Structure 1
Amino acid sequence: METGSGEIERQSDTMGLKDYYYALRLNDGRILRIAQEVDAVWVVFASGLPLCLGLILLISFVCVLASRILTRQLMKPIEDVAGKLNDDFVDSPYPELYPFISKIRKQHEEVLAAAKMRQDFSANVSHELKTPLTAISGYAQLLGSDDTPAEKRKHFADEIDKNANRLLALIEDIIKLSELDSDDNDEQFETVDLYELAAEELDSLSMAASQRNIDITLSGASTSVRCRPDLIRELIDNLVQNSIRYGNDGGHVTVSVLEEYGYKKLIVEDDGIGIPADDLDRVFERFYRVDKSRSKASGGTGLGLAIVKHIVEIHDAKIQIESELGVGTKVTVMM
């Protein structure tokens, strides 16, 4: 008070309060004193906490409720679109979703196509396996019968052998397709001479060609290509076997290896029976046969060209087929 004024504060630990005192000496000598009790900071915070928590809960509830309502409103058109994927035309509820809906629709169509392909494949496999098995069973019963003439037993045994070989060939092709579907091919690529591969494979097929009096020739030059040698051998074998199988006795098969316009080309050309124009788009389908009776009689499984197409796709290559009925067929693989 020596300066004419003074202040002091006192803390009440029991009440949790502070007392602020202020004194002022007036001109007439009297002293004016003021005192005020003030809550501690944590007391003020504690008293306002329930209100803050209540506001937070209320705001959170409103936000959750609003988000659920808005989400339902946004998702309902999309759910409607999902239920119309099989329709010929699906309109997008939002312009931004056009690319998304187009992609989903494409994937949906691919899934349906794959499912149908598996279903058709299973049905075809069952049929193709049943045919030779039925023949083997029938001829085996005749062969075991005491009433079967001796001169026919040799014929029945040959038929059993022929159908058993057909069954084995079919199973091998099915296994090959399964391996191609599930195999990891990237790590097995290597650089090889395509001409040498073709020469080796044609040498192994010379006996089959000579039985039909078909002349096989190889033309071209050494051409390096990065590929899976085992699959390329399979490809060459299937294409040349087809040319021999559907060629005319005394015909010709020409295999050419060359490099042209940046492509390494393998061409297999024959002067056989040819393929009708209406069948060209389907010859690479599994179990599709242009001439069913001739294919079965010659031992074809209906999977050869399907395997060829799969091998071509693994190598990111292209395949073209040209054919004229009664003139011949030309298959070109470009890598």
Structure 2
Amino acid sequence: MHRYLGIVGGALMAFILATGLIMGTTFAYFADVQRQQLKTETEMAALAVDELQAGYLAQLPEENYRVTWISPDGQVLYDSDMAASQMENHLEREEVQAAMRKGYGESQRYSGTMTVKMLYSAQRLADGSVLRLSMPQQTILMVIWDMALPIGFILLVVIGVSVAIAARETKKANQEETEAMRREFTANVSHELKTPLHSISGFAELLKNGMVMEQDTGYFAEKIYNEAQRMIKLVQDIIILSRLDEGQENTTRSSVNLYQLAEGVIANLEPMADKNGITIELIGQQVVMEGIPHLLNSMLFNICENAIKYNKPEGSVLVEVSEIAGHPRITVRDSGIGIPMRDRSRIFERFYRVDKSHSKEVGGTGLGLSIVKHAARLHNAKLDVDSIVGEGTLITVKF
């Protein structure tokens, strides 16, 4: 999304800067064209007035220019917009002064009668009088208004092209990211499956070749069974994650009593806790919420299972179910080995292990917390992890 917005935003910024530059250049060009056009019209009108005198002035189209005829002493003889008798002396006007001295003069200023910025062009006639033409100067706003339609069209094209490019780049980036994740996931799965398969193959080969004493057969059979169970659990977790990724997992919701759910999870984990010398306790209150039962069960089971596996001898696990301000909450606190700060943001990644050597000892698939993350997301739940290395970890699920 950030990449998408970056591309579109960059394109719009470039368009705005380019438009500003073009508008500035266009305005300067139009201003020069206006000045040259006004000069040309003044020179042509002056030639006509020299020949036809005042009769020509009445024939000039009034909608394009304001025409003023000024005597050598500055008195206004004719004006296309006002009665000449009502106008003040124009002898001191800049363009009139220049015309009387050099034959031609021009200027620009705000007109007291027109209340707009005007361009003035004045030409001295043969009798010493001055013919002046004036017109409103085209402002930058007028230029923008005239170009609004083409600019709007170009803007729409720029936005459309930018959106298309951003969508293509985002799609490509997502595909590359998905492909990288797929390759990493495949490599991790292959590794995780290879390890128990090698163990099973090795133990079976010893049994097959009669290299195991009869009293040790049970030991090797147990090893084969444990490794096979590990493979089954790994495949089950992979299937669950695949279904969650593809939206195929059963997400039917119903009323769930979180306290009763936690009681069932703890009952299932008590044999493991007893085997590891860990005490596991449940406290809290009856809290009911709408949720996906098997995913809520899987989420709590994986968190508690990790709390047992990564605990210390004679350690403890405390599960609490509560409701704060109408929001259900489950906390799992253990007295285990803890999670370093640098690893906390990654523990929910697939196959990520904080202590790889310890993970091999306790088993597990490396997918449990990934399932927890997916289940929490489907319930709009927030996962908080607080931990102190050597003292323990607190994982909070806030619904």
Change (3 A) 1:134 1:266: same
Which residue of the partner structure matches residue 41 of structure 1? none
Query: What is the CA–CA distance in structure 2 between the aligned matches of 1:105 and 1:331, rounded to whole Å?
Result: 37
Deviation at 1:305, TM superposition (A): 0.3
Native 8 Å contact 1:185 1:314 kept in 2: no
1:306 and 2:370 aligned: yes
Residues in 1 aligned to 2:251 and 2:188: alpha-carbon distance in whole angstroms: 33
Where 2:268 maps in the other structure, the secondary structure is: helix
Flag structure 1 segments of 5+ consecutive residues without an equivalent.
Answer: 1-83
CA deviation vs aligned residue, 1:219-275 (integer Å, no higher than 9, x gap): 111112111011101111101100011111211111111112442111111001111
C-alpha distance in 2, partners of 1:187/1:283? 25
Stretch deviating more after TM superposition (200-209 or 306-315): 200-209
1:173-206 alpha-carbon deviations (Å, 9 max, x no partner): 1111122223456861112221121122212222
Residue in 1 that maps onto 2:337: 273
**C-alpha distance 173-185 of structure 1, shift in aligned 2 (>3 A):** closer
1:216 aligns with 2:246: no
Post-superposition Cα deviations, 1:153-179, rounded to whole Å, max 9, x if no partner, equal: 443323222211211111111111122
Q: Go from structure 1 to structure 2 and tell me whether the alpha carbon gap of 1:104 and 1:247 turns closer, same or farther (over 3 Å shift).
A: same
Aligned amino acid, residue 206 of structure 1: E
**Distance change >3 Å, CA 301–CA 90, structure 1 → 2:** same
The answer to whether the 8 Å contact 1:238/1:308 transfers is yes
In the alignment, is residue 327 of structure 1 matched against residue 360 of structure 2? Answer: no
AA paired with 2:245? D
The structure-2 alpha-carbon separation of the partners of 1:131 and 1:195, relative to structure 1 and needing over 3 Å to count, comes to same
1:57-72 alignment, distance < 5 Å? none
Alignment-derived partner of residue 230 in structure 1 = 294
Q: Residue 313 of structure 2 aligns to a residue in which SS?
A: coil
Residues 1:160 and 2:218 are matched in the alignment: no
SS at match of 1:282: coil
SS in 1 for 2:345: helix
1:290 to 2:349 alignment: no
CA RMSD of aligned residues (A): 2.7
Counterparts of residues 1-335 of structure 1 (less than 5 Å): 91-92=10-11, 94=15, 96-97=158-159, 105-184=169-248, 188-335=252-399
How has the CA–CA distance of structure 1 residues 261 and 186 changed in structure 2, closer, same or farther, with 3 Å as cutoff? farther
User: CA offsets, 1:45-101, max 9 Å, x none?
Assistant: xxxxxxxxxxxxxxxxxxxxxxxxxxxxxxxxxxxxxxx99x999952646536665
**SS of the residue aligned with 2:337?**
coil
Residue number in structure 2 paired with 1:76: none
Taking structure 1 as the reference length, what is the TM-score of the superposition? Answer: 0.68
The amino acid that maps onto 2:190 is S
Give the CA deviation at 1:318: 1.0
Alpha-carbon shift at residue 150 of structure 1 (Å): 4.1
Q: Which residue of 2 aligns with 1:52?
A: none
Q: TM-score, normalised on structure 2?
A: 0.58
Q: Take 1:294 and 1:89, find their aligned partners in 2: how far apart are those partners? A: 48
